[in-house]
Amino acid sequence: MLNALEVFTTVVVGVMVGVEFSVAFVVNRILDALPEDSGQLGRAHGGRMLGAVMPVWYIGSLVLSAVWAIAGWDRPGAGLVVTAGALLILSVIMSILLLVPINNRSKTWTAENRPEDWKEQLNRWDRFHYVRVAVIIAAFTLLVAALT
């Protein structure tokens, strides 16, 4: 049963990493290349859509990692799982303190109501997101290493 939990947790975190990596390095670059304000409107829509799903995914990944760490405490790799869990906690804290406030503002923007510094705010979100992606990649790597 523990083996199934380990694999399931690793897959869930891995898919989350893939989605967030894609947002950072593919989707946002595509949106930013669109003419006029189309990219900002696309980001607003993405913020609404992913903003509803990602909290469950982040917290779920953290809970799965915690259950793995507790259930496998006496097994090799437990320290890696605990460290991965700590990184996932950091990613949640980063999300709440740094990314969500910008996302909550930007997902309501239209051409008529967006602030003058909207591009700077999106660039700030992108920088924070790159760091968060690095953190969850590190967590995923530790979970993979704990499988062996």
In whole angstroms, give the CA distance from residue 78 to residue 23. 31
Q: Which amino acid appears at position 146 of this protein?
A: A
User: Both tokens of residue 125?
Assistant: 């979100």
* pLDDT at res. 133: 98
* pLDDT at res. 74: 93
* pLDDT at res. 36: 84
* pLDDT at res. 110: 87
Q: Mean pLDDT, 10 residues at a time, over the chain (148 residues)? A: 94 97 96 90 91 93 97 94 98 97 92 92 96 98 94
Q: Terminus-to-terminus CA distance in the chain, angstroms?
A: 16
Look at the pTM and tell me if it is higher than 0.85. yes
User: Both tokens of residue 71?
Assistant: 């259930």
* pLDDT at res. 111: 85
* Residue 29, number of CB atoms within 10 A of its CB: 12
CA angle 33, 20, 9 (to 5 degrees): 165
